[in-house]
Every structure is written in C-alpha cells, then in structure tokens.
Amino acid sequence: PLSYVLQVKSEGPKLVPFFKATCVYFVLWLPSSSPSWVSALVKCLPIFCLWLFLLAHGLGFLLAHPSATRIFVGLIFSALGDAFLIWQDQGYFVHGLLMFAVTHMFYASAFGMRPLALRTGLVMAVLSGLCYALLYPCLTGAFTYLVGVYMALISFMGWRAVAGLQLVGTAWRWTELAAGSGALLFIVSDLTIALNKFCFPVPYSRALIMSTYYAAQMLIALSAVESREPVEDYRLSKAK
C-alpha cells in the first residue's frame, strides 16, 4: 500500500547517521588485533545511532509502546556486547555472549507470542539443532553448554520474529518483514562468528559478520516503528 511506502520513506532521513557511522567503521576497519577504546567506540557507533533513531520518534512513543522500549533496551545490551567482543582475546568473549543473550531475550519479548506459529517454531528448532550438531565437535569445556543455550535463545528470538510475518492479506505489515529479515540476518552473523572462532577460518569472516550484523540491527530497530500495540492506544495516551 502507498501508506506503507510513504512511511518507509519517512524513516530514511532518521537512519542517515546510522549509515554514516557504518561507513566509518568499514572505512577505518580498525584492526581487531589491537583493541582499544577508540576501536570499541567506532564499532558501537552504528548501534548508538540506532538508539537515536528510536529516540527520534519521541520518548512518549517508547513509553507508550512496551515492544519498542524492549527493542531499545536490547540495543543497549548489544552495544555492551560489541564493546566486550573488542577484547574477546583478553577473556571477554563470554561477557559479550551473555550481553547478546540478554539482547535476544528482549527482542523475543518485543516480538511477542502471537501468533504462536508452531510449525515455524519447529522448523527453527530443527535448524538450530542441525547448526549445534555442526558446532558440537569443535566445542570444549563450558562453551559446549554456553553455545547451546545461546543458540536456543537466538533461534527462539528468530521464531518469534518470523512468526508474525504475513506477506499476503490485510494483516501484512512491512515492519514484521523487517523483524523477520533482521532476525535471520542476526542468526547468519552469529553462526559465522561461531564457525570462525570454534571450527575453521571463514573467508572474509569479518566483512560477512559485521555487514549482516549491522543490517540485522537496523531492520530490528525499524520493526519498532509500527509498534505491535494498537496505534489508537498511543494516540489516546498522547492526547491525554
């Protein structure tokens, strides 16, 4: 519908800082072998810009829509996870893993449990199991369990994001397409991290990981624009 096209176009200018910050990251391409606060800032800057993107819709919007607020909080934990992963070789990989685990719980809560879409959940569970089976021979110690739990959380988040996706009919919403696409890209990014860290070197891993990661976060942030709570509730609360 034309209204959806116009709404998508209206969000574009608010995302300009995000695109610029992402370009800065890929242009500078600060080496991961020498972690510093500067490299952490450059890596986190696109996520900071997504905070601003959501805040540009007004605090009233965030306060009136719990799903949008949860995505905003998830982005905060994402930035913390990004910062920890800068120093992953110094023993902070698990800290980053935990921060992103919390992120996925907030995202899943934002996407909600309706519709349930059990078939979609079953497909996600099977795919998650296959991915874990691929990684399992490469895992040792606590990572055997930590990676398993993390994969369960991110696949649950992916299920809840994709469950709401309806490409036909009057219930179609572009924000649900953004949520589903973003969740799947997040899974691709994190699976690439796991393969590269635990199993074998993935060619061009950093470019693949970060491009899919930033795209995923942008799409998930966009999904908050048309909140899952009724628009009328926000208008009424704003009028009051």
Query: What residue spans define the domains of the chain?
Result: 1-228
Residue 41 confidence class, pLDDT cut points 50, 70, 90: very high
Q: What is the mean pLDDT of residues 120-142?
A: 97
Nearest to 65 by CA among 76, 78, 75, 54: 54
Structure pTM?
0.91
Residue 238 confidence class, pLDDT cut points 50, 70, 90: very low
More confident residue, 14 or 4: 14
Share of the chain above pLDDT 70, in %: 87
Examine the pLDDT at 35 and tell me if it is beyond 90. Answer: no
Q: Centre a 10 Å sphere on the Cβ of residue 4 and count the other Cβ atoms it contains.
A: 14
Q: Centre a 10 Å sphere on the Cβ of residue 171 and count the other Cβ atoms it contains.
A: 10
Stated as kind and residue range, the H or E segment containing 159 is: helix 143-163
pLDDT tens-digit readout, 89-115: 899 999 999 999 999 999 999 999 999
The residue to which tokens 């953004």 are assigned: 178
Examine the pLDDT at 192 and tell me if it is beyond 70. Answer: yes
Residue 218 confidence class, pLDDT cut points 50, 70, 90: very high
Q: Burial-class residue 206 by CB neighbours within 10 Å (0-12, 13-18, 19+).
A: middle
pLDDT tens-digit readout, 48-63: 999 999 999 999 999 9
**Inter-residue long-range contacts of 22-27, CB under 8 Å, 24+ positions, other chains counted:** 22/46, 22/214, 25/210, 25/214, 26/207, 26/210
Residue 167 confidence class, pLDDT cut points 50, 70, 90: low
More confident residue, 63 or 229: 63
CB 155 within 8 A of CB 123: no
